[in-house]
Amino acid sequence: MHEVSLIENVIALVEHERTKSAFARVSMIRLRLGALGHAEPDALRFCFAAVTAGTIAEGSGLEIEIVPGEGWCPDCGNTVALAQRFDACPVCQGNQVKMTAGDDLRVVEMEVA
């Protein structure tokens, strides 16, 4: 499952953080997930416990914040909301909209002990 590798990346990032500031464990991880990305929040939640087992993030809570899709249209110069990847521009119907937000997964915060 694709979501497993995403969670593994998150754990790697958390481990890296620990090399900078020592902490014993992580109690909560907050992710920001793009609505147009390829990961399903439910699938992330589903595999989180299994993937974090035996790691520093074992038993940690998981919060997922969804970032809505957004794009920029070079035809009319507007920044527009994107409900779907490759949607036409809602202002001018142009088909060149470049996605500017809503495609990534980022760790925005974590609580450590």
Task: State the minimum distance, in angstroms, from the CB of residue 45 to Zn ion.
Answer: 36
Q: In this structure, which long-range contacts are made by residues 90-98, counting pairs with CB atoms below 8 Å and at least 24 apart in sequence? A: 97/71, 97/72, 97/73, 98/71, 98/72, 98/73, 98/74
Task: State the minimum distance, in angstroms, from the CB of residue 103 to Zn ion.
Answer: 19
Nearest alpha-carbon partner for 44 in 3, 74, 103: 3
Strand partners, 64: 31
Task: State the minimum distance, in angstroms, from the CB of residue 66 to Zn ion.
Answer: 24
- C-beta of 5 vs 79, nearer to Zn ion: 79
- C-beta of 56 vs 91, nearer to Zn ion: 91
- Provide the binding-site residues for Zn ion, judged by CB under 5 A: 73, 75-76, 89, 91-92, 94
| DSSP SS3 for 42 | helix
- C-beta of 56 vs 92, nearer to Zn ion: 92
